[in-house]
Structure 1
Amino acid sequence: MHKSPDGTAYTLIGPADGPVIVMIHGLGLNRDCWQWTTPALNDHYRVLCYDLYGHGQSAPPPETPNLSLFSNQLATLLDHCGIETATLAGFSLGGMIVRRFAQDHAHRTTGLVILHSPHKRSADAQDAILKRVEQARHEGPQSTVEAALDRWFTADFKQANPDMMDIVRDWVTGNDIGIYHTIYRVLADGIDEIIAPSPPIICPTLVITGDDDYGNGPEMTHAIAAEIEGAQSVILKGLRHMALAEDPSAVNTPLFAFLDALDAKA
């Protein structure tokens, strides 16, 4: 683990001359959520995983969080690592951040992978997430984590894998009560600035979700892809939000195929 001057904790592994892919986790998690993905990438790709401000081992946000702050965090980290361009893979909130970055820094973005990430919510869904933000503000991340695990994993998998539930639960509940809800609000309120992106996102893009992902379902994935010229969408059968942990091969197969196709064109 390394830290950049602004307090961002990161790991950078793989061959120095390999194409770079940056992995950006979701709300309440940390860079360890990519442990089911990165081992198969390390032989060929230069893989950069980092903790968002206020998560894992990174510093607290230096100002009130918003998507631009997280986009700037990534740009600063790339500069620190001497990386000019990269393909970005973002999960959930991370999928929002990579869209913001691709608008802010199109010349640095060679491709996007958007995993289980939101588009415009219905009024009821937006009301529900705002209520969870307020619950987290008053009671902390432990007040929302059990319901989150139910949304994130299929019931059978959750019951059969208590150790994994403990890992993910510990990640979420390890977040600071004074910070967590401020970043949760970015997940809730930041969506409007990346819908119908302007400037448009112009890089090759892959959008993935599970057909049973309650908050980021197939209709959202198709809507995201429809706004990015040439984007592909993949719907994973029988999986919920944390498919990357529940069934890594289901996510990794289309992800690796997309990355290899990009590499072949480079």
Structure 2
Amino acid sequence: MNTARLFHRVHGPDGAPVVVVLHPLATHSALWQPQLPAWSGRFRVVCVDLPGHGRSPVLPDVTTLGQYAEEVRLVLDALGVDRAALVGLSLGGMVAQAFALAWPERTRALVLAHTSARTERAIRDLWSTRLQQAADEGMAAQVPAILGRWFPPDFAAVAPMTLQWVAEQIASTPFDGYAAAIGAIQRLDHLDQLHRITAPALVIAGELDAAAPPALARLMADRLPHATLTTLPDCGHIGNVQQALAFTETVGAFLVQSLEPPAFP
């Protein structure tokens, strides 16, 4: 019986290694469109809309990152997938951590991009302020500030249509889904548990990322037993969009190395 409650789509050949992609806050799985043509040729890519985002319903009983990860697990169960790699960006990276901690035997590899493993008190307070603003003004009013945090000014100046594409995702996110995800982010505290994740990991930082600075990526990479750290130069918070080619190839090479058996003559 299919017990999955999250909207998901599968791209790529049957029998290929499975890669689950998890999107940032206030977006949805379409944000991975720059990567799909390349990755779906080698992998079975499962694109998931997290609760209250995209075409997935708001789930009032899902309030923690562990519960978000449980919903992702139910998607894999419904697809008959025992083990997968997870690629998470920002909020998606936090959910991927929670999944790997809860189900290490089902985690083949992990990509943590533009994310963190602990939300400090000052950042929790900042999230509360942003949430109140969204409650007072609506999601559309949040778009300029979010885009300003996510994309460096030089990129924003030359990519107005790309930013409009992202802006539409932000504005269409239900407030209740946004609020629930912020609550989960505020309770993020995985840092002291990362040593338990033994799967190969790739940590990606953006040199100009104000939302998840490179220092946070280094902190995670230092705690993960089998991690590689890559920093994308001149890049902000949404590296898979701003530097789509570099992101696609860097992550793709890691996934090939981690998931595909070596060829022997």
- Please, what TM-score do these two structures have when normalized by structure 2? 0.93
- Aligned equivalents of 1:13, 1:124: Cα separation in 2: 40
**Is the 2:22–2:47 contact (alpha carbons within 8 Å) kept by the matching residues of 1?**
yes
SS at match of 2:187: helix
Report matched runs for 1:92-103 at 5 Å: 92-103=90-101
SS at match of 1:208: strand
Match of 2:252 in 1: 256
- Aligned equivalents of 2:16, 2:101: Cα separation in 1: 25
Corresponding residue to 1:213 among 186, 209, 215: 209
SS at match of 2:70: helix
1:56-96 deviation digits (Å, cap 9, x = unpaired)? 11121141421121111011000000100000000100000
Report deviation, 1:127. 2.9
Match of 1:51 in 2: 49
Aligned residues: 261
Could you tell me the percent identity over the aligned residues? 28
Counterpart residue type for residue 202 of structure 1: T
- Aligned equivalents of 2:176, 2:108: Cα separation in 1: 36
Corresponding residue to 1:23 among 21, 24, 38: 21
SS at match of 1:235: strand
Report matched runs for 1:1-266 at 5 Å: 5-121=3-119, 123-187=121-185, 189-192=186-189, 194-197=190-193, 200-265=196-261
- Aligned equivalents of 1:211, 1:121: Cα separation in 2: 20
SS at match of 2:212: coil
**Is the 1:53–1:70 contact (alpha carbons within 8 Å) kept by the matching residues of 2?**
yes
Report deviation, 1:105. 0.5
Report deviation, 1:229. 0.2
Counterpart residue type for residue 163 of structure 2: M
Describe the shift of the 1:74–1:155 C-alpha distance in structure 2 as closer, same or farther (beyond 3 A). same
SS at match of 1:70: helix
Answer 1 or 2: higher relative contact order, Cα 8 Å, separation at least 6: 2
- Aligned equivalents of 2:147, 2:128: Cα separation in 1: 18
- Aligned equivalents of 1:241, 1:199: Cα separation in 2: 25
Describe the shift of the 1:223–1:207 C-alpha distance in structure 2 as closer, same or farther (beyond 3 A). same
Describe the shift of the 1:94–1:68 C-alpha distance in structure 2 as closer, same or farther (beyond 3 A). same
SS at match of 2:71: helix
**Is the 2:150–2:211 contact (alpha carbons within 8 Å) kept by the matching residues of 1?**
no
Report deviation, 1:154. 1.7
RMSD of aligned alpha carbons: 1.7
